[in-house]
Structure 1
């Protein structure tokens, strides 16, 4: 690693970012958060030298060393293992080797499926082979088991050794006004039941050997290029002895392939989808069997979260978290320009740059009364694994964790008149965020595409599942109202980025970025975090949030 990249001083950045990023227009001021510093940190992490920051790779080693050194230079205390900034995260890294085959048998016909054209598969099992021979395919609708919503798609069906085929998203995602299911699962806003991770886990709990989700871009929130971006590679946390094993193969089936499968079973796909939006739906054995044959390259790798802190002067046991994820998608197949590194500049090197700026700003101020923790998680792109590992092995109690504030995929298009709120209606942190936005002359706008379930797709979710109030700032929630171009320009950027650069090689740093808006977003967390750091306030979940009962169980610890 080049010494210049490793020891890049954060205090000499103003001349290295674009002139617009370093703009000083008072109308767009971001307080102590400097867009020029954010730009250069992002440029460093997204450079080819860091090889796309894949967990367990040489790129990870460079990333962990770089981030640890930045926290050390800022004067933060280590909060990782053995007096270091790094927390070990044991993972299993798998890859389906080329040359495998998958097909569906229906009657006397055998239908080969192109990989990844028709079907995308991976495994998170620690195995050297994935072999499925004649496993019956059972359509389970949306695959939801939700007693609290009086909904059960499974109806006691035996899935042992079978392939569970799911629809994407929730039962009411496509419900028409007046349908009995409308609103039962949040309407257009995705619930956790709509996430692919829930569906794969539910299939495993019920003994399925494989799980497939029918891909539809609207319901998934991203196109097929995002699905196939990992190239057959996957990760999982090392499972303890006796833990529930995941399905052997998991993945996605293109809608045309699913339509063909239903047609061969004498069924119309759209008609069955409508039936699946009723509580009376029952699983359907499609009379087809799946065969798959893949060799698997599996190895154990030690990845790392990076954790640093500023200890509280009065109540050090009470913590406020600022976090992002350091990982991206590493090195993949060459794109049209021959680029193989997928640098993850916006997703989420820029978020990590924001975390470092928050650490610098807080360290430069008066000592906080509560402890501030700064986290850079690993393996977010592989299922929020780094944050989930921390949550399973916490070093600070969740009962006295005040809040988790997460930055993921900020926008590079200059100042905005608003900030998009992901997961509206969850906690009273939203009221605090609105107050901070008003100080900047901005407003809060609810996520324009809640069906994409972004609230469940970032690392803060591991904290929410433990009852901790959380906030996520993510530009992909919808087009922000940009000062230059308005919401139309914001929507256009989200659409183009999601369609072409999300998890791809073109998510790269650019000298043409204007990071004043991103810096303002980071400054919102500075204002909100500063207020919490010098108070006795405990943010709460709103009535009706699925996380409120979890928090209530530990209320005595916060008195």
Structure 2
């Protein structure tokens, strides 16, 4: 099947109109057999699941550097090296010594992680909250550009913020005033749990709890509790540490009881929180928790390579994929113990290697092209976040970021899946280049899950860089063989059996013709930008437009 995939994909690329392949990219086809070789290597037992801070990382870094050197690329890391050091804080909660709500002299003991799930990002020997007041902050959104502020100036210092998951308009009916303000069923950044924790810290809270419900979160409680009290962050200076001693979730049933004990109705307040005049509500209840904490600093690395631009080398296009996976786990039915992420994201890494090979075989571009292999994506986008906070190439002059993270392996498709509709003009480029391949653009099928905010490109987006994500599980591809029904069957099988599991291994059943299409598409989009003076832009209504506009002068705009 691989041979058939390679033949089909090569024939497809050679048959494309000239517009699909910039002249300087002629003769640089993406080759499926090279993708296979890379994936089979990285997903082999020798790399032990590629977990940060392990022997598997050391082998992965050495392998990537060797490949990039063989391609003839330049080191793109710190001080002329191939890497950027990324110190990671790894914490784990022990058995709770105290965990309870207190109201009117009554104490409700809580079970961890059945009733409440918590973790910490502070490197202390213990994580404690002692009788902090609980304050319901609705959806906890502070969005001046949308005329919305759930906090209304209420002081949260020393308190625990209680949030609803997702956006204020997620459950809104069409006749409600809020309808469409936050994208309707499409999640905005304000709906992500990461935003809510960050905003609680900005407000000075000592803790943050999100009320879980499966529809709004996009996953069940089993996913919430699966890390077992473990968390990761980049190592921060003491003055930059989060104010949150503990952060996490409360189950829907536990939250309902919490509000009822306070004489309040959670369902009614959830409706009230969908109005812009909502004000925080003190629940008259305090929260106490005490956990022993073990922590360690894990030294990890991003790997970076580049091709320097000949005319405007200070301007860069950044391609990214994450090299890390989940390391060792419980054996599956075939006895495999390594969760090595063959598709997530060894295939993305393989795609970057192919794009790099194509660029190196072509005349040097006008702008620099950077190839970034991120660490710790599976721990919270931490490698890309560290880079974006400590960039080696100016963020304000980063033209665009293209991210490969899980590609479909079911064959040629009539379409390409767009993740994050309405964000930037890169989606217009996507449609143009897809049309040149004889394909259309389909929107992601479950925008309420917020996939746009859940991959490494998002670290760049937060700093204003226009981004584009290629993610095969964002929707059912319209496959040449079997249509959308077959595309959905592939998505369901991968996400249901193999996502973050040992089952995510290379298989001879893979048909990489569709992956070749998608990689070639990103190659060509980036090549056009690398040889132009154009700057992609955020569209009106994007959360990131204002951030980019702050640095317009640096680009001469």
Same fold (TM over 0.5): yes
Deviation, 1:39, is: 2.5
3-state DSSP of counterpart to 1:130: strand
Distance 1:557 1:105, change over 3 A: closer
Q: Do residues 379 (structure 1) and 363 (structure 2) align?
A: no
Q: 2:20 aligns to what?
A: none
What pairs up with 1:62-461 in 2 under 5 angstroms?
A: 62-98=59-95, 102-107=99-104, 110-332=107-329, 340-461=337-458
Deviation per CA, 1:189-234: give whole Å up to 9, x if none: 2111111111111111222222121222222223334333433221
Deviation per CA, 1:43-75: give whole Å up to 9, x if none: 322233323322222222222111111111111
What is the alpha-carbon distance in structure 2 between the residues aligned to residue 336 and residue 109 of structure 1? 48
Deviation, 1:118, is: 3.0
Deviation per CA, 1:233-256: give whole Å up to 9, x if none: 211122124225241111122222
Q: Which range is displaced more, 302-311 or 97-106?
A: 97-106
Q: 2:21 aligns to what?
A: none
Distance 1:26 1:235, change over 3 A: closer
Q: Do residues 462 (structure 1) and 446 (structure 2) align?
A: no
The question of whether the paired residues in 1 share the 8 Å contact of 2:9 and 2:516 is answered with no
Distance 1:419 1:250, change over 3 A: same
Q: Which range is displaced more, 92-101 or 205-214?
A: 92-101
What pairs up with 1:42-53 in 2 under 5 angstroms?
A: 42-53=39-50
What is the alpha-carbon distance in structure 2 between the residues aligned to residue 515 and residue 223 of structure 1? 31
Distance 1:225 1:416, change over 3 A: farther
Deviation, 1:380, is: 1.9
Deviation, 1:144, is: 0.8
Deviation per CA, 1:438-489: give whole Å up to 9, x if none: 1221111122222222222222222222222211111232222122222233
Deviation per CA, 1:145-183: give whole Å up to 9, x if none: 122222222233332222222111110011110101111
3-state DSSP of counterpart to 2:121: coil
Deviation, 1:126, is: 1.0
Distance 1:549 1:304, change over 3 A: same
Q: Which range is displaced more, 305-314 or 507-516?
A: 507-516
Q: 1:525 aligns to what?
A: 522
Deviation per CA, 1:288-318: give whole Å up to 9, x if none: 3333232111112221111000112222222
3-state DSSP of counterpart to 2:339: coil
The question of whether the paired residues in 2 share the 8 Å contact of 1:347 and 1:507 is answered with yes
What is the alpha-carbon distance in structure 2 between the residues aligned to residue 506 and residue 246 of structure 1? 39
Distance 1:434 1:377, change over 3 A: same
The question of whether the paired residues in 1 share the 8 Å contact of 2:189 and 2:543 is answered with no
Distance 1:536 1:200, change over 3 A: same
Deviation, 1:20, is: 4.5
What is the alpha-carbon distance in structure 2 between the residues aligned to residue 25 and residue 409 of structure 1? 18
Distance 1:43 1:287, change over 3 A: farther
Deviation per CA, 1:80-119: give whole Å up to 9, x if none: 1232211011221111235666333445654443333333
Q: 1:509 aligns to what?
A: 506
The question of whether the paired residues in 2 share the 8 Å contact of 1:143 and 1:199 is answered with yes
Distance 1:252 1:469, change over 3 A: same
3-state DSSP of counterpart to 2:48: helix
In structure 2, list runs of 5 or more residues that go unmatched. Answer: 15-27
Deviation per CA, 1:489-511: give whole Å up to 9, x if none: 32343344444443333333322
Q: Which range is displaced more, 164-173 or 136-145?
A: 136-145
Q: CA RMSD in A?
A: 2.4
3-state DSSP of counterpart to 1:22: helix
What is the alpha-carbon distance in structure 1 between the residues aligned to residue 438 and residue 273 of structure 2? 46
The question of whether the paired residues in 2 share the 8 Å contact of 1:231 and 1:332 is answered with no
Deviation per CA, 1:27-52: give whole Å up to 9, x if none: 64487112222223223222333233
**TM-score w.r.t. length of structure 1:** 0.91
The question of whether the paired residues in 2 share the 8 Å contact of 1:134 and 1:289 is answered with yes
The question of whether the paired residues in 2 share the 8 Å contact of 1:325 and 1:376 is answered with yes
Q: Which range is displaced more, 103-112 or 199-208?
A: 103-112
Distance 1:247 1:468, change over 3 A: same
**TM-score w.r.t. length of structure 2:** 0.91
Q: Do residues 58 (structure 1) and 55 (structure 2) align?
A: yes
Q: 1:542 aligns to what?
A: 539
Distance 1:219 1:301, change over 3 A: same
